[in-house]
């Protein structure tokens, strides 16, 4: 777990340095105490900085993918609407076939909306804002 604040990270860095023998324990008694209580791996986790991805590039790619998903949903919804209208006017077997086609498009739209939700979750997870 990385440090919560910059000062905590600095303290853990000094403790890590004392633990490795690069800095004398007299430099910071508090850091020397921490160095004695924690393992080197734990100190490395606290002293290290969390690596972050470049937000601009990632969020732009996610936005573009989400936009493509929205366009796909729009096209499928429009096609389903046309099929449903044709099914109302049709009779017999043709009507049943058209209704089945409309149901297929309903399933496709549902899947596409799930993909869009995934993009939305990724975007919220990275930036903390909406698409």
**What value does the mean pLDDT take over residues 25-50?**
86
Please tell me the predicted confidence (pLDDT) of residue 125: 63
DSSP string of 55-69, one letter each residue: HHHHHHHHHHHHHHH
* % of the chain at pLDDT higher than 70: 82
Residue 120, helix vs strand vs coil: helix
The domains of the chain are located at 6-47, 55-127
For residue 32, give Cα distances in angstroms to 2, 3, 13.
Answer: 19, 17, 11
**What value does the mean pLDDT take over residues 82-107?**
83
- Name the residue with higher pLDDT: 11 or 60: 11
Q: Which of 49, 6, 50, 8 is nearest to 31 (CA)?
A: 8
Q: Which of 102, 101, 107, 113 is nearest to 72 (CA)?
A: 113
Please tell me the predicted confidence (pLDDT) of residue 115: 76
Mean pLDDT of the chain: 79
Please tell me the predicted confidence (pLDDT) of residue 69: 79
């Amino acid at each position: 777990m990385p440090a919560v604040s910059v000062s905590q990270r600095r303290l853990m860095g000094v403790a890590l340095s004392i633990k490795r023998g690069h800095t004398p324990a007299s430099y910071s008694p508090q850091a020397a105490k921490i160095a004695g209580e924690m393992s080197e791996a734990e100190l490395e986790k606290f002293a290290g900085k969390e690596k972050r991805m470049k937000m601009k590039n990632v969020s732009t790619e996610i936005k573009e993918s989400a936009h493509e998903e929205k366009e796909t949903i729009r096209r499928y919804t429009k096609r389903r609407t046309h099929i449903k209208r044709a099914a109302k006017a049709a009779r017999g077997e043709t009507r049943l076939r058209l209704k089945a086609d409309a149901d297929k498009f309903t399933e496709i739209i549902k899947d596409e909306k799930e993909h869009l939700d995934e993009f939305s979750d990724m975007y919220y997870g990275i930036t903390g804002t909406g698409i």
